[in-house]
Structure 1
Amino acid sequence: MEKGQVYEILGTEGISGTFGEVWLDGEYVAEIEGCQLKVDFEKQTVARPRRMMKAHKTVGAEGKGSVTMTKVKSRMINLIGQRMQDQKTLAFELISKLDDPDSIGAERIKAKDVQFDDLTLADWKNGEVGKIEAPFTFDGFDLIDVIK
Structure 2
Amino acid sequence: MDVNSNRVLSGSDGKVWVNGELWAEIQKIEFKITGNFDSVNFVGDPKEHSRYTGCSSEGTITLNKTYSRGVKMISDAFKSGVFPDITILTKVTDKQTNQSERWELKEVLFTELGHTIEAKKTITQEMPFKFGDWDILETISA
The answer to whether the Cα contact below 8 Å between 2:83 and 2:109 also exists between their aligned partners in 1 is no
Match of 2:135 among 135, 142, 146: 142
In structure 2, the residue corresponding to 1:75 is in which secondary structure? coil
Distance in 1 between residues matched to 2:68 and 2:49, nearest whole Å = 48
- Count residues in correspondence: 141
Distance in 2 between residues matched to 1:62 and 1:19, nearest whole Å = 28
| Consecutive unaligned residues in structure 1, runs of 5 or more | 1-6
Please report the TM-score for the alignment, with normalisation by the length of structure 1: 0.87
The residue identity in structure 1 corresponding to 2:132 is D
Match of 1:65 among 59, 65, 81: 59
Match of 2:36 among 35, 38, 42: 42
The answer to whether the Cα contact below 8 Å between 2:63 and 2:124 also exists between their aligned partners in 1 is yes
Distance in 2 between residues matched to 1:13 and 1:52, nearest whole Å = 44
1:104, CA displacement in angstroms? Answer: 6.3
Distance in 1 between residues matched to 2:75 and 2:17, nearest whole Å = 18
* Distance 1:35-1:103 versus aligned 2 partners, 3 A rule: farther
1:114, CA displacement in angstroms? Answer: 0.6
Higher share of residues assigned strand? 2
1:113, CA displacement in angstroms? Answer: 0.6
Question: What aligned pairs does 1:3-18 form with structure 2 within 5 A after superposition?
Answer: 7-18=1-12
The residue identity in structure 2 corresponding to 1:73 is Y
Provide the alpha-carbon RMSD of the alignment.
Answer: 1.7
Superimposed CA distance per residue, residues 108-129 of structure 1 (whole angstroms, 9 cap, x where no aligned partner): 1000011111112x21111111
Aligned to 2:117: 124
In structure 1, the residue corresponding to 2:46 is in which secondary structure? coil
Tell me whether 1:31 sits opposite 2:25 in the alignment. Answer: yes
The answer to whether the Cα contact below 8 Å between 2:106 and 2:131 also exists between their aligned partners in 1 is yes
